A and B are shown apart, each in its own frame.
Chain A
Amino acid sequence: MNLAKPTLLRTLARRAVAAALGLIGPAIGATVGAALGIPSAQAAAQETAAPQGEPVDEHAGHDHANEPHDAPPEVRRAAPWDPEIVALFGELPILEQGRVKPLSTFAGFKLLQLNGTRTLRMVDDRGTPDQKDDDVEVKLSPTEWLLDCLFFPEASRRHPCFQLQTWEVLDAIGVERIDGRKKRDRYSYLELEPGRPQLFARARAMMSDPVKREAKNRSYLDEQLMQLAMKMNQYEGLLGALVFAQQEFLEMPAGAQLADLLGDGKTTRFSRLLEHSAALTERAASGVDEATRTGAQRMLRLAQQMADFASALTLFPPDAKPAPLVKTTMYNSGPAEKRPGGSEEEEWLTLGALEQRVAAGDAELLALHLPAIVGFEDAFAARNDPPRMKAALQQVRDTLVRTATGREQYAKIGSEISYYEADLFFRALVLYVICFVLVAVGWLLRADHKLNRALPWLLFVPLALHVAAIAWRGYLRARPPVSTLYETIPFITAAIVLVALVIELIDRRRIGVVFAAVLGAAGLFLTQRYEAKEAFDKGVDTMPQLVAVLDTNFWLSTHVTSVTIGYAAGLLAALPGIVFILGKLFGLRRGDADFYRALTRMTYGVLCFGLLFSVVGTILGGVWANDSWGRFWGWDPKENGALMICLWELAILHGRMGGYLRDIGVCTAAVFGASIVVFSWFHVNQLGVGLHSYGATDGVSFWLWTTYGGIALVVLAGLWLAMEARAARKASTSNAVGPAKVAGFETD
């Protein structure tokens, strides 16, 4: 098969590879560049190779901003991505972080990790950087951004997709600040690249420092540097992921008799190397002459290096047989036991791993995936020709999806794509905000106005979307609604909104609707921010696999759900308390004792509701611990946090029944209770001790202490009001006798 292409295209492809190889690393780049006869890559790599004995700093010092005169011209995308190509590409399955997910999800969280948002906004200079009048502002979706990274790696280096939290990071790596940029802003790879050697040197130094190796011991700047180094490393992995597909660059070795395998042209392509790797292996060992043997060896080495560059994407299922969603099983006695779908065979493969298996003679695996690899090559060749690219990607999709479907690992991919496209949490958030505006308008109207009567029912609309999103996640994960710290946030928010609406339907004072709208919007805003933060700091998506102890839907749906509802109630109980205290403080509805009595009743009622779930949930947690760790109670910080909520709520109820807490006391105590809930919910995970420390979140301390500070101010105000009220009572009823009578509840 003659794969010769027009000379210009071949030249461009070779130059593109030179650029990509320069990105990937001098050591490898030099090898491959030399093998490919690409002087620029070879020279660049040799110029910048790390000294002997030093950790390899991939492509250190390679200044793409000042590329040498023979640097390849950028191949740019000629037009916006065809939506059908975006959709096709986004549907590809990929194994990442222990689960099979759509490539669109992968792209979404990868962009979130680098960019801080799922949308990349940038100025497209239309190929003429020195002319500003043809610049247009464009927005790229995550899948479009990933397509750019893979199919236009040279041009995508100009995308400003690295969000830096502070420009001190630039100072630290010796990159000059750019005029017009804010302290916290986004930068392109090319803008950061001059500082790359320094960045990686600092990251290496931190990793070899026994103290700074642990993130908690790093300064803020060091942590930002470490994160940037990891993100640049991952980004480079994406840029090199389709190096193998940049065809027609593999020059045939002179004098080697390989034409029957690799074609009689001067160059060949990766898929042909892979297809004939078994025969090449044979010729490398026993070719007819020395030139053939060394030629075959070189081509095999090239194939392996090309494949290894593609390690950022784990795209290839090992077979098409039904398999459980787990893999690698370690058997400690006897031979590895074959389970349905294989045992150690269950791991999905990167291209590098696939190449190794094929080179070792796995013809079945080759036949399974060769069409996809050819499809990638064809798609790359046609990257500026949408119809041809679409056809090639369709071939990739068909191959990979057929295999994943055969393994029963594709069934929920479509649903997951729809889940992220629907973005129900965001839509519900918008509706909560609209409802809040309507609630505010309603307060200006008569209580029996149509709007006020309709508001509770209107709020059920965002709640329905909100609950649907939670249920949808549960379906995708085959888990109860709460199994991660992230999932506690939308769940608690939904529980709060529901309880607030029930209160409103009973009480009809338009207080419940305020709580529902405000907390619904605030909770879902927090949900969005937490998702972004987790992705930005840790690079994880919000549907992670669970540790072994959590692999139980029974306990997740009973203990975790109960305790989480308890948290929700603890927080909700604080809200009427806050309104009570601030209302008294600022003279809201002065003299309306009924209003304040209603607030106290709400607080008390929600506390009772919360106590039920907190106590039962906490004990169920003990029962679970008794089944998994062998003890009912271990004074673990998370257990203690749940116990503290129970103890505080019990103390409030007993204080109330004993007449020690009047209305203001109950409300103040409920507000203080919110700080205990926050401590239990988030803070104990930050302590880094105990069996629940797997839920830690970096960088939330500031927000925790800010929350505590806000609560403390309200509590202090409540205490001041309580003392004022007590002094007033003393003054007016100095000779009163008998038990205290508190609003709405009898004392014992």
Chain B
Amino acid sequence: MGLLKKLYALLSSYGLAALLLVFLLLLTWLGTLEQVEFGLYETQKKYFESLFLIHEAGPFAVRLPFSDPAKGPLMTIPAFPVPLPGVYLLLSLLVVNLVLGGMVRLRKDRSRAGILITHFGILFMLAAGFVEFRWSHEGVLQVFPQERSRDYYSYHEWDITVRDADATGRVREHVIPSEEWRELAPGATHRFTHDALPFDVLVTKTFRNCRVVPQGPMFKGDGAVIDGYVVLDSKPEMEQEFNVPGAYLTIAEKTTGRQTDAIVWGRQMQPLTVDAGGKRWLIDLGKRRHELPFDIQLDKFIVEFHPGTSMARTYWSNITKFDGGQQTAMKITMNEPLRHQGYTLFQTNWGPQDGNLDQPLYSVFTVVENPSDQWPKWSCYVIAVGLLLHFSLRLKKYVASTRRPAPAPAAPKS
């Protein structure tokens, strides 16, 4: 058997399928437990979106059954690293296995039709997941009553932006995406330049989660003191959206060579101001802004509670959608999103949560642009049909086998 044939046999085998499924199960289980300690975002990156990972197993406390917890364990096995394939790699291999073994190699007859359909449905679903993983993005749109907006902001991504302070109307923003500066090695510097700007921006130090505080005896900062302020590095939050990043910048003017150090922080009230090239510029660190191709105006937001409780029974937003010259009144509520031009708006929240009847409430929508939005639903139909067909045939065969008369006992040997 040639090497290619061996490879084909391996990649299309039941054994590989079973192995991949077991590993996927293991990774899913570990990733579920890991969320308790590290939060969803970190766990998702480590276990579900990776090719390989190192899982820290343990430490394990060994106890006798029904022993008194106060007495402590018999022994403790220290933590040890376990290298594992990531879910991304496993799913990639599963696709190959599914195509080769579950479609190409599979015997094509009536009894296997259901399996073939099911495998096709699963492939379709995995394709939906891949498209969503690679090409979708989501954010949050928060809007007060009678307010009109088309901007929505990423949950996790932060950008450094530079814009002309005196510009009016639609303003041109120069964006330094977080992907280009957030993983800065210690001591390294990233320089960002643009012809339209009279200065370069050098990112010299970054923080995933931090606070900016006045320098004083109470705090020992994690960087230089600038204008009396210093950055305090903080432990990352379990929920990624609660992290507030920060960075040390150096603004290097192109003509004069003058360099100015500065701090930008995700929660700063006002942008950093820089005078250069005869103009005033604003530098800001904020959540990545996306734009809808249409406007949304919140006409009314309503929340209803179960009587005598603080548990919301339902909440919804009456909105007007402005698209070109057209205005359409619509309602967005839980489980009934608005889908338009490839975007989907979900009613996810409202605020302030402790507001009373006198306070205006704002409505919060999750905005998702996902080219494969409805693919999983279709794949579900396909898979259901395939499984139903296959298992019906199996059941028929099983019932028939139970009706078969038992074979006559063999004649005794003489």
Q: What's the least CB distance linking A142 to chain B, in Å?
A: 21
Taking a contact as CB atoms under 8 Å apart, the answer to whether A95 and B307 are in contact is: yes
**For the complex, is B314 an interface residue (Cβ under 8 Å from A)?**
yes
Taking a contact as CB atoms closer than 8 A, the residue among B48, B360, B399 that contacts A506 in the complex is B399
Q: What's the least CB distance linking A594 to chain B, in Å?
A: 8
- Of B28, B43, B399, most buried by chain A (CB within 10 Å of CB) is B28
Taking a contact as CB atoms under 8 Å apart, the answer to whether A626 and B391 are in contact is: no
A378 CA to B108 CA, complexed, in Å = 83
B44 nearest in chain A by CB position: A635
Taking a contact as CB atoms under 8 Å apart, the answer to whether B307 and A626 are in contact is: no
Taking a contact as CB atoms under 8 Å apart, the answer to whether B303 and A329 are in contact is: yes
Within 8 A of A (CB), among B14-45: 14-15, 17-18, 21-22, 24-25, 28-29, 31-33, 35-36, 39-40, 43-44
**For the complex, is A316 an interface residue (Cβ under 8 Å from B)?**
no
Contact with B along A382-395 (1 / 0, CB 8 A): 00000000000000
**For the complex, is A643 an interface residue (Cβ under 8 Å from B)?**
yes
Taking a contact as CB atoms under 8 Å apart, the answer to whether A647 and B14 are in contact is: no
Taking a contact as CB atoms under 8 Å apart, the answer to whether A640 and B28 are in contact is: yes
Taking a contact as CB atoms under 8 Å apart, the answer to whether B300 and A331 are in contact is: yes
Residues in chain A within 8 A of chain B (CB atoms): 95-99, 314, 325-334, 336, 344, 346-348, 506-508, 545-549, 551-552, 555, 601, 605, 608-609, 611-612, 615-616, 619-620, 622-624, 626-637, 640-641, 643-644, 647-648, 650-651, 654-655, 657-660, 676, 679, 684, 687-690, 709, 744, 748
Taking a contact as CB atoms under 8 Å apart, the answer to whether A555 and B304 are in contact is: no
Interface CB pairs A-B, < 8 A, 17: A97-B306, A97-B309, A98-B307, A98-B311, A326-B313, A327-B307, A331-B357, A332-B362, A508-B402, A545-B311, A549-B335, A616-B384, A619-B379, A626-B376, A630-B367, A651-B18, A654-B21
What chain A residues lie within 8 Å of B312 (beta carbons)? Answer: 547-548
Q: Do A658 and B28 form a contact, CB below 8 Å, given A98-B309, A328-B304, A651-B22?
A: no
What chain A residues lie within 8 Å of B36 (beta carbons)? Answer: 687-689
What chain A residues lie within 8 Å of B24 (beta carbons)? Answer: 647
Q: What's the least CB distance linking A96 to chain B, in Å?
A: 7
Residues in chain B within 8 A of chain A (CB atoms): 13-15, 17-18, 21-22, 24-25, 28-29, 31-33, 35-36, 39-40, 43-44, 48, 65, 107, 125, 128-129, 132, 138, 145-146, 299-309, 311-315, 334-337, 344, 346, 348, 355-357, 359-362, 366-368, 373, 376-377, 379-380, 383-384, 387-388, 391, 394-395, 398-399, 401-402
Q: What's the least CB distance linking B346 to chain A, in Å?
A: 4
Taking a contact as CB atoms under 8 Å apart, the answer to whether B334 and A348 are in contact is: no
Taking a contact as CB atoms under 8 Å apart, the answer to whether B107 and A651 are in contact is: no
What chain A residues lie within 8 Å of B361 (beta carbons)? Answer: 330, 332
A344 CA to B305 CA, complexed, in Å = 10
Taking a contact as CB atoms closer than 8 A, the residue among B28, B138, B313, B391 that contacts A548 in the complex is B313
Taking a contact as CB atoms under 8 Å apart, the answer to whether B307 and A347 are in contact is: yes
Q: What's the least CB distance linking B199 to chain A, in Å?
A: 39
A632 CA to B367 CA, complexed, in Å = 14
Q: Do A330 and B309 form a contact, CB below 8 Å, given A548-B334, A658-B18, A689-B40?
A: no
Q: What's the least CB distance linking A458 to chain B, in Å?
A: 22
A330 CA to B145 CA, complexed, in Å = 13
Taking a contact as CB atoms under 8 Å apart, the answer to whether A622 and B35 are in contact is: no
A332 CA to B145 CA, complexed, in Å = 7
Taking a contact as CB atoms under 8 Å apart, the answer to whether B335 and A644 are in contact is: no
A348 CA to B145 CA, complexed, in Å = 29
What chain B residues lie within 8 Å of A644 (beta carbons)? Answer: 25, 28-29
A709 nearest in chain B by CB position: B65
Q: Do A551 and B313 form a contact, CB below 8 Å, given A507-B402, A654-B14, A748-B14?
A: yes
What chain B residues lie within 8 Å of A548 (beta carbons)? Answer: 312-315, 334
What chain A residues lie within 8 Å of B387 (beta carbons)? Answer: 611-612, 615-616
Taking a contact as CB atoms under 8 Å apart, the answer to whether A619 and B383 are in contact is: yes
Taking a contact as CB atoms under 8 Å apart, the answer to whether B380 and A328 are in contact is: no
Taking a contact as CB atoms closer than 8 A, the residue among B28, B65, B138, B337 that contacts A643 in the complex is B28
What chain A residues lie within 8 Å of B315 (beta carbons)? Answer: 548
Taking a contact as CB atoms under 8 Å apart, the answer to whether B376 and A622 are in contact is: yes
What chain A residues lie within 8 Å of B13 (beta carbons)? Answer: 658
Taking a contact as CB atoms closer than 8 A, the residue among B48, B308, B334 that contacts A95 in the complex is B308
A684 CA to B31 CA, complexed, in Å = 12
Nearest first, the 8 A-B pairs at minimum CB distance are A658-B14, A98-B306, A332-B361, A327-B307, A651-B21, A333-B145, A619-B380, A630-B366
A112 CA to B189 CA, complexed, in Å = 66
Q: Do A647 and B388 form a contact, CB below 8 Å, given A616-B380, A655-B14?
A: no
A647 CA to B346 CA, complexed, in Å = 30
Q: What's the least CB distance linking B343 to chain A, in Å?
A: 11
Taking a contact as CB atoms under 8 Å apart, the answer to whether B300 and A332 are in contact is: yes
